[in-house]
Amino acid sequence: MVRYGIVGFGLHAVKRLMPGFAHAKLSTVSALSRRSAEKAAAAAAEYSIRHVFQSTEELCRCPEVDAVFVTSPDSFHLRDVLIAAEHKKHVLCEKPMAMNVNEATQMVNAARSAGVLLGVAHCFRFEQSLHRIRERISSGDIGQVVFARAEFSYSGLQHQRTWLTDASMAAGGPIADVGVHCIDALRFLLEDDPLTVQAIAHYDQASGAVEAAAIVNLSFVRGTLATVLVSTRAEYRTPLEIVGTNGTLRAENALNVDHPIQLKLVRGGQVVDTEDLRNEEVYAKQVDAFSAAIELQAPFPVPGEEGARNQAILDAAYRSIRNGRTESIQYPF
């Protein structure tokens, strides 16, 4: 059993991670850290977590912590990962991995030097729906992929994560927060990487210095053209569509862990096949996969190098927004 310390124990830990750990078979939570001593103590009491700290440094010194799960705001990821690596703790870091690709590269190099495992928590890599779509693409169900479209929207107004519109703490707006999920999902489904990116964004009074909505267009190595649409102004929706020369795979809420997903195969404008899929075990699968990588030397699907590649795409998207040009993507690994 791998014992985890959760750094930055907040909304995500309460809503997603702890229910996942409750169903995990190889993983348990032994410690947490949170800047507010009162909130940290309350969380520890609610979830029967033995060790409570107010800093990452203290948590990483705990002998009953084998791995650190970094869930702090984006700007703290670099610091928290470097501290964990310094203390020889394996570390799973929430997405987006960092504020920029230079930070992500530092994290990867630090983990390599320390001889610890670094993973990035792209939870949707563990969805049944994405694995099934990838299988159907690979088997030739829709022929050669021509277009791909992924959307991720949610209402960010009055969100509990108030730091999301603070550009000093957040790597960006919805491009960095949820667009990175779409980008990672497309890379996984297509088994391919984008070469270029072109992006435009919309800002409003409530979004501050980060975008409120954006369109990110990607051109992949093998010729697929993809569009990622993100917003913190629309209702929660995560439609995904993969268009091939011999049909289309479509799911209304593919990147969703709360409700069943119906995957449709469309040919000639008609639905010719449907498949019902469920993703409720995503968070348990994610931590158990990381634990298996630690204890059994099994490969973890999203190592730090993969997170850094996603970060390079984010950086190129934001450069494109600033300069209005199509940007080439320079991968660090």
Task: Note the pLDDT of residue 151.
Answer: 98
- The total domain count for the chain is 2
Tell me the sheet residues that pair with 90: 67
Q: Beta strand pairing status for 213-220 and 118-121?
A: unpaired
- pLDDT (tens digit, 9 = 90+) per residue, 273-282? 999 999 999 9
pLDDT band at 237 (very low <50, low <70, confident <90, very high): very high
| 108 and 161 part of one domain | no
User: Does residue 156 lie in a domain region?
Assistant: yes
Query: Is the residue at 333 inside a domain?
Result: no
132 and 241 fall within a common domain:
yes
222: its two tokens: 């093998």
Q: Are residues 15 and 94 in the same domain?
A: yes
Q: In this structure, are 112 and 162 located in the same domain?
A: no
Q: Is the pLDDT of residue 264 over 90?
A: yes
Q: What is the pLDDT of residues 241-254, one digit of tens each?
A: 999 999 999 999 99
Give the pLDDT confidence score for residue 158 in this predicted structure: 81
Instruction: Tell me what percent of the residues of the chain surpass a pLDDT of 70.
Output: 100
Residues 6+ apart with CB under 8 A from 147: 224, 225, 226, 227, 241, 242, 243
Asked if residue 198 and residue 88 are part of one domain, the reply reads no
Question: Do 80 and 165 fall within a single domain?
Answer: no
Q: Stretch 136-158: mean pLDDT, rounded?
A: 96
Query: Could you tell me if residue 306 is inside a domain?
Result: no
Residues 9-62 have pLDDT tens digits of 998 999 999 999 999 999 999 999 998 889 889 999 999 999 999 999 999 999
Q: Pseudo-torsion of CA 70, 76, 78, 80, nearest 10°?
A: -50
Full residue range of the structural domain in which residue 203 is found: 125-279+312-328
Judgement on whether residues 36 and 154 belong to the same structural domain of the protein: no
pTM above 0.75, yes or no: yes
One domain, residues 75 and 189 = no
In a domain, 307, yes or no: no
